[in-house]
Amino acid sequence: MSRLQSVPEASPQQQRERLSMIGVTWLLLGAVLVLLWAYSWWRHRFWATKGVPTPPVVPFIGHAHKLLLPAKLCEFEREAYFNYGGSKFCGLYSFHEPMLLVGDPEIMRHIYVKDFDHFMDRRTFNMPSKKDRVMANMLSMKTGEEWKKLRAIMSPTFTSGKIKGMFPLVCKKADQLVSFCLKEARTKPFVDMKYNFGRFTLDTIASCAFGIECNSLVGEKPEFAEKVDTFFQITPERIWRFAFLGVFPKLAKMLDMRFSAPATDFFSEVARETMRARQSGNKRGDFLDLLLEAEVSTGDAEGISAVQDDNKSSTSKQTLNELTIISQSVMFLLAGYDTTASTLAFVSILLAKHPEIQQRLRQEMSEMVEEHGDITYQGIMEAKYLDACIMETLRLYPPGLFLERKCVKEYKIPGTDVTIEPGMVVTCPLFQIHRDPKYWPEPEVFRPERFLPENKANITHLTHIPFGIGPRNCIAMRFALMEAKVALAKMLLASDINVAPGHEEIKTDFGLGLLRPKDGVNLLLTPLKEE
């Protein structure tokens, strides 16, 4: 039978040494924490040393806990705008990195437009994974000369003439939307117009960008719709990946961490297959055809493939390579799907809540059809009250909440002693400017008359910026407006719109930095004529 050996007790001397070691450890740990706190305090003194006001900061975090959470961003920007000088400009911190929030229209004019060469880039995310190649090559992610050349190539694809050529495709999808909505109105207590407008914009862009019929409105299992929905889903994992990529970019590269949603692969393959089909010579005049036909007159650059002319000694024609075309097609789909659908959903419920405005707009649409014989491109573009209703909706509910530019060379803000250093991000509190009573009397009221031609002179320049400002504004703005106007016009000519009982409140969601209706937009549709 074994005996338990007793452990000898530590001597008083050993106990004192052990306690002394513990004390030293805690002392060192305390010293490290004090030094880290002092470092954080020093980094967060950046704006104070320049005399720039700043909302209260959290040590080590700064304002990142609010800047990185879209649900809190809008409320935080409102506080910074109205209480901490943001209506002119104020300083922010993303962890320890200083940012500048600018709300003064004149300073915005300098930064975003006049002195654009100092702020050519947007905030960039290092996406080292090969799985992110499609997203990394989108126009919105390009910087410097690469962005400048690609933008110059793509701009001609969104001219009025090109968009007019896509008008019949949009009208066809809008007719399908109206038919589907009225069919639902006969069998359901109300119609979720946010859902239906989303399917309409998806079908429209799939047709205009990819040249395919995804039929997400009528299909029993709309694969396109399901994939795009997963792209816009906000999950804890995506938020974590986003934060990790921003804070630890080198470690993310080592781990081959992916940033883009897996659904991007589905759309990439669709674009690739469609490109191969176009090699047979079948043309539709859509966005993909325009990119395939785009010629580059500038020198060779990344994303551009040179095509040699045998009769000349130098390169006479250059075209976009496959990856670049796929990236722009996917960008067109993802950027245009939810933004236009949300705008249509918001304007429809606003018109439902204001029947007198709805009736005035329907009267304008009826007169347009009487004059032109149908809904035409010219008639839609000339409809003043239709445009005013869309613009007022975009004032109240701008789809995009981020309007950021990154300084590329040192810049002194005109009329001040404040210098913006290269690499610093400048952001604009777009939502707050759109609802500032200084610029908009009764800013919470839906009043389309603000945007009628006779009243536009009363609008302060750069206080209505739903499509961005300057050379990096939304490249597809004309297409998006045309698409929204066609859908709204056809819906109003076919039905009277009312809010479903119990669904009068307009709730909003800020997922992925996009402003969208929350929990759908439920309306009652009453046909105005027999189908």
Q: Please state which of the ranges 417-421, 426-430, 470-474, 506-510 shows the lowest mean pLDDT.
A: 506-510
Instruction: Please provide residue 292's backbone torsions phi and psi, each rounded to the nearest 5 degrees.
Output: -65, -30
Most confident of the following: 143-147, 152-156, 207-211, 361-365 = 361-365
Tokens, residue 360: 């005035």
Predicted confidence at residue 261, as pLDDT, reads 83
CATH class in words for 129-399+471-527: mainly alpha
Q: Which residue has the higher pLDDT, 220 or 325?
A: 325
Given the DSSP bridges, would you call strands 419-420 and 411-412 parallel, antiparallel or unpaired? antiparallel
CB 424 within 8 A of CB 407: yes
Residue closest to 522 by CA, chosen among 383, 361, 353 = 353
DSSP state for residue 461 in the 8-state scheme: T
CB 176 within 8 A of CB 219: no
**Average pLDDT of the residues in 238-243:** 73
Q: Please state which of the ranges 131-135, 136-140, 281-285, 520-524 shows the lowest mean pLDDT.
A: 281-285
pLDDT over 60 at 297, yes or no: no
Give, in order, the Cα–Cα distances in Å from 238 to each of 42, 64, 267, 440: 32, 16, 19, 37
Residues 6 or more apart whose Cβ sits within 8 Å of residue 48: 54
DSSP 325-392: HHHHHHHHHHHHHHHHHHHHHHHHHHHHH-HHHHHHHHHHHHHHHHHHSS--HHHHHH-HHHHHHHHH
Q: Where is 522: in which H helix or E strand?
A: strand 522-527
Would you place residue 254 in the very low, low, confident or very high pLDDT band (cuts 50, 70, 90)? confident
Q: What is the dihedral of CA 159, 112, 123, 465, to 10 degrees?
A: -60
Q: Which residues pair with 509 in a beta bridge?
A: 516
For residues 413 and 343, what is the distance between their CA atoms, to the nearest angstrom?
A: 34
For residues 166 and 483, what is the distance between their CA atoms, to the nearest angstrom?
A: 10
pLDDT over 50 at 423, yes or no: yes
Three-class SS state of 152: helix
**Lookup result for tokens 């050349």:** 149
Tokens, residue 214: 């995804």
Residue closest to 259 by CA, chosen among 288, 237, 226 = 237
For residues 113 and 51, what is the distance between their CA atoms, to the nearest angstrom?
A: 25
CB 503 within 8 A of CB 397: no
Q: State how far Cα 282 lies from the chain centre.
A: 33
pLDDT over 90 at 25, yes or no: no
Give, in order, the Cα–Cα distances in Å from 342 to each of 184, 370, 474, 490: 20, 30, 16, 17
CB 395 within 8 A of CB 466: yes
For the chain, what is the mean pLDDT?
Answer: 87
**Lookup result for tokens 């649409």:** 365
> What residue ranges do the domains of the chain occupy?
129-399+471-527
For residues 96 and 84, what is the distance between their CA atoms, to the nearest angstrom?
A: 19
Residues 6 or more apart whose Cβ sits within 8 Å of residue 44: 57, 59, 62, 93, 96
pTM of the model as a whole: 0.89
Most confident of the following: 17-26, 33-42, 149-158, 386-395 = 386-395
> Tens of pLDDT along 315-353?
445 568 889 989 998 898 888 888 999 999 999 999 999
> Tens of pLDDT along 45-101?
999 999 999 999 999 999 988 887 777 888 899 999 999 999 999 999 999 999 999
For residues 237 and 150, what is the distance between their CA atoms, to the nearest angstrom?
A: 32
For residues 328 and 166, what is the distance between their CA atoms, to the nearest angstrom?
A: 17
